[in-house]
Structure 1
Amino acid sequence: MSNRAKSPGFTLIEVLVAMLVFGLAALALIRLQGAGIRGTAAVDSATVAQIVARNVAVEAMTDPRPPAAGRSEGVEVNAGRRWRWVREVRPTGNASILRIDVRVADPSGTTWGRLMVVRPPDAGA
């Protein structure tokens, strides 16, 4: 028999196991938070790029003169960031109706937004 009295409480091994479980749970929560932040940043970039694409398309739609067929490029600043846009104008089966494709990318070249609109013959008038 042991001379030590049985005292209430946790043993050292129980405390270490509890700390290990708590640490693993905390690490999982930190990784989850990081994934959420990355997802939010991607949604923000896609939303702003889509706004830029719409701005470029609306310019082409509301200009009194139809845009020239072919490719044009430019840079627009929106939400404090530079966005590179490419607009491609192509005729459709009807020569007076134009198809306008807009692609928007960030400075690294990652495409975040795309938009296709059709300019009818009386647009911009």
Structure 2
Amino acid sequence: MSRRPAMRARGFTLVEVLVAVAVLAMALGAVISGMARFTSNAAYLRQKTIAIWVAHNRLTEIALQPTWPDIGKTNGEAEMAGVKWRWKAEVKKTDDDNLRRVDLDVMAPDDHRGNSKNNGALASVSSFVGK
């Protein structure tokens, strides 16, 4: 009877496993960070899109008013997508007596405590209204 020499079991060493786990952890961290940025950007773009809709709706309301818009500043609120949006409009005189310029800013909605999330305008649009 011949005996075969004992074969050593081959596998990964503890150091190799630790290095592999560390590389995997760094890769997963980068993926999670990228997904968090994607989610944040998607929420911002949704808010910005709705703010632009609010601005266009308000400009349309101003253009369809039966009376000529007065020169000056006004502000108010509009509800869209279940959220109250604040807007500020400024009507300015132009060189043409039959035209007025309307600049409209829509601010981000307040959070649940009533604090503004953003002091600046989330959307700004301008238009001209004819007599």
TM-score by length of 1: 0.89
5+ residue gaps, structure 1: none
List structure 1 segments (4+ residues) > 3 angstroms apart after TM superposition.
none
From 91, 94, 118, the equivalent of 1:92 is: 94
Provide the C-alpha distance between the structure 2 equivalents of 1:75 and 1:83, rounded to a whole number of angstroms.
5
Provide the C-alpha distance between the structure 1 equivalents of 2:28 and 2:73, rounded to a whole number of angstroms.
51
SS at structure 2 position matched to 1:82? strand
Provide the C-alpha distance between the structure 1 equivalents of 2:68 and 2:58, rounded to a whole number of angstroms.
13
SS at structure 2 position matched to 1:66? coil
Provide the C-alpha distance between the structure 2 equivalents of 1:36 and 1:29, rounded to a whole number of angstroms.
11
Report the equivalent of 2:43: 41
Report the equivalent of 1:111: 121
Provide the C-alpha distance between the structure 1 equivalents of 2:121 and 2:100, rounded to a whole number of angstroms.
23
TM-score by length of 2: 0.85
Q: Calculate percent identity across the aligned residue pairs.
A: 31
Provide the C-alpha distance between the structure 1 equivalents of 2:32 and 2:127, rounded to a whole number of angstroms.
42
> How does 1:44-63 map onto structure 2 within 5 Å?
44-63=46-65
| RMSD, aligned CA | 1.4
5+ residue gaps, structure 2: 1-5, 111-115
Alpha-carbon shift at residue 110 of structure 1 (Å)? 3.7
SS at structure 2 position matched to 1:117? strand
Provide the C-alpha distance between the structure 2 equivalents of 1:68 and 1:61, rounded to a whole number of angstroms.
12
Larger RCO (CA under 8 A, 6+ residues apart): 1
Q: Aligned partner of 1:105: which letter?
A: M
Aligned residues: 118
SS at structure 1 position matched to 2:62? helix
